[in-house]
A and B are shown apart, each in its own frame.
Chain A
Amino acid sequence: MEKISILVTSGSREKLQMAGMLASVGAVSGSEVLVFLSMNALAPFVKDHADDVPVEGEIGRLLLDKQAPPFLQLFEQAAELGDARIHPCSMAMDILGVGRDELLPFLGAPLGLTKFLSEAQDAQTWSF
């Protein structure tokens, strides 16, 4: 099975949207998808934090006005409808001071960078 790994470190709405699109479409197209959320990309996955996401420019603003699927929904669909695993970075959790029960429930267990690199071996890898 084709493997896709997605490293997300940006907290901007545009990059989260693109990462969510890639994760969801990849997962429902038969790929095994691994998403690693680190740095500023983790905070929007803390419960009730998705509204705080900053935009980079015009597209980010328009995403809110148009009927684009919300990025959280795309990640959730990737996990529910396809073969995607979405993991928070354990370091980013420590820095933010959040526990697993404070993260959205479709996220998997915290992952360290070494484990992510190991799992991403031989995968098509994307970063945002």
Chain B
Amino acid sequence: MAERHQIDARGSYCPGPLMELIARIKQAGIGDELEVLSTDKGSANDIPEWVKKVGHEMVDSFQADGVWHVVIRKTK
């Protein structure tokens, strides 16, 4: 059954949030969703670009109270 994981990367600078996501995605199952919390706007742009390049799926990306929430689904 697919799970949802949250990765709190607030306060970290590029490429910290992306690297934390990649470390966690290796442990996740196919279909799992991973939500990265980031205060680094560069990462909010870079993570979707990385997802597109490596072939996972973007689920959502939004900002709330100064924090970016980038949600992706592991597809392979």
User: Are B53 and A24 in touch, CB under 8 angstroms?
Assistant: no
User: Are A69 and B22 in touch, CB under 8 angstroms?
Assistant: no
**Interface size, A (range):** 10 to 19
Q: A29-B50, A29-B53, A30-B53 are contacts. A69–B23 as well, Cβ < 8 Å?
A: no
User: Are A68 and B50 in touch, CB under 8 angstroms?
Assistant: no
Q: A29-B54, A81-B23 are contacts. A68–B13 as well, Cβ < 8 Å?
A: yes
Q: Mark A71-90, 1 if CB is under 8 A from B, else 0.
A: 00010010001100000000
User: Are B22 and A81 in touch, CB under 8 angstroms?
Assistant: yes
Counting chain B CB atoms within 10 Å of each CB, which of A24, A30, A67, A82 scores highest?
A67
User: Are A77 and B19 in touch, CB under 8 angstroms?
Assistant: yes
Counting chain A CB atoms within 10 Å of each CB, which of B11, B12, B16, B54 scores highest?
B16
Q: Which residues of chain B have C-beta atoms less than 8 A from A74's C-beta? A: 15, 19
Interface members, chain A 17-37 (any B CB < 8 Å): 21, 24-25, 28-30
**Interface size, B (range):** 10 to 19
Report how far A4 CA is from B13 CA in the complex, Å.
23
User: Are A81 and B12 in touch, CB under 8 angstroms?
Assistant: no
Number of A-B residue pairs with CB-CB distance less than 8 Å in the complex they form = 41
User: Separation in Å of the B28 CB from the closest CB of chain A?
Assistant: 14
Instruction: Report if B59 contacts A (CB, 8 A).
Output: no
User: Are B15 and A69 in touch, CB under 8 angstroms?
Assistant: yes
Instruction: Report if A115 contacts B (CB, 8 A).
Output: no
Interface members, chain B 15-37 (any A CB < 8 Å): 15-16, 18-19, 22-23, 26
Report how far A29 CA is from B25 CA in the complex, Å.
13
Report how far A21 CA is from B18 CA in the complex, Å.
11
Q: Which residues of chain B have C-beta atoms less than 8 A from A82's C-beta? A: 22
User: Separation in Å of the B19 CB from the closest CB of chain A?
Assistant: 5
Q: Mark B25-57, 1 if CB is under 8 A from A, else 0.
A: 010000000000000000000100010011000
A residues contacting B by CB (< 8 A) are 21, 24-25, 28-30, 66-69, 74, 77, 81-82
